[in-house]
Amino acid sequence: MKIALDPYMLRRVPLLELPRTVAGLGYHHIELSPRDDFLPFFLHPRVDKAGVAAFRKALTEAEVTVASVLPLYRWSGPDEDERQAAVRYWKRAIEITVDLGVDVMNSEFNGRPEHAAESEAQFWRSMEELLPVFEREGVRLVLEPHPDDFIEDGIEAVNLIRGINSDLVSFLYCCPHTFHQGGNLAEIIRYAGPLLTQLHLADSFDFRASSGLRYIVNPPGSAARIHQHLDIGQGEVDWDLFFTTLADVGFDGIATVCVFAWEERAEDSARFNLSEITRYTEKIAT
């Protein structure tokens, strides 16, 4: 298992200093998530060839690799102009990924849950344009269902990915989305089988608990999705079951620490979660 760090809480660290900072926290791999000077959220990439080359050099010097590149674009949104723009952004992001020497990208389905059918149709339009690019460049795409996407349930997401029918497209299980995916952690992991190639590791509380009153959102009836990305052990994800199930299915992909809740102690959080992953994997191994 390749353990990576999503450095979003460290996004104010200058880009060329980031690899050395990550290495100092004990990580050898990065999942490169959106940042304003590289791949911003929902906008065209900002980095040029010189910037990519300089970042690649800094990675080499720090003995850190990019395990995966994570862009987020509105490629499934019901607005066709936004979808076409997102496809253009994706094409540039793929080019950057290849220039970095990376062959894995991961992202979310996006779209709107209240317009699920229309959003899925837009997703397929985007895939028709982008899948040939992924195939030409030899880049794998790993997809996750996200709260407030057109597809949120884990089993349904695996089924949709199977429908893409490409060896290059696989499934990401995101632990802090466990309760929005259906709460059936082990079932989803086993159902995905070899399609499961990537993980996001962080904790969260079950919003469905206390008769749906774990979180009280006003006005009543709001469609807001609430979840956290906490340190392992701070929420209600069953980590013993999670790591045991991973061992049972022989998972050997990318596992990314994706904690966002503690920017005031970002480095301590990164160290703690790495030690917890090590502890759980050693416990299961024995």
Q: Tens of pLDDT along 128-150?
A: 999 999 999 999 999 999 998 99
pLDDT at 226 over 90: no
Question: Beta 104-108 vs 140-144: how paired, if at all?
Answer: parallel
Tens of pLDDT, residue by residue over 262-271, are 999 999 999 9
Pinpoint the alpha helices (H) of the chain: 18-24, 49-62, 80-99, 116-137, 154-164, 185-192, 209-212, 239-249, 266-285
pTM across the whole model: 0.95
Residue 120's pLDDT is 97
| Candidate from 119-123, 221-225, 250-254 with smallest mean pLDDT | 221-225
Show the CA angle centred on residue 275, arms to residues 271 and 281, nearest 5°: 145
pLDDT at 163 over 90: yes
Residue 225's pLDDT is 82
Angstrom distance (rounded) from CA 59 to CA 119: 37
Buried b (16+ CB within 10 A) or exposed e, 127-165: beebbeebeeeebbbbbbbbbbbbbbebeebbebbeebe
Residue 224: pLDDT band by 50, 70, 90 thresholds? confident
**Mean of the pLDDT values across residues 104-130?**
96
Buried b (16+ CB within 10 A) or exposed e, 180-218: bbbeebeebbeebeebbbbbbbbbbbebeeeeeeeeeee
Residue 242: pLDDT band by 50, 70, 90 thresholds? very high
pLDDT at 77 over 90: no
Mean pLDDT, the chain, whole residue set: 95
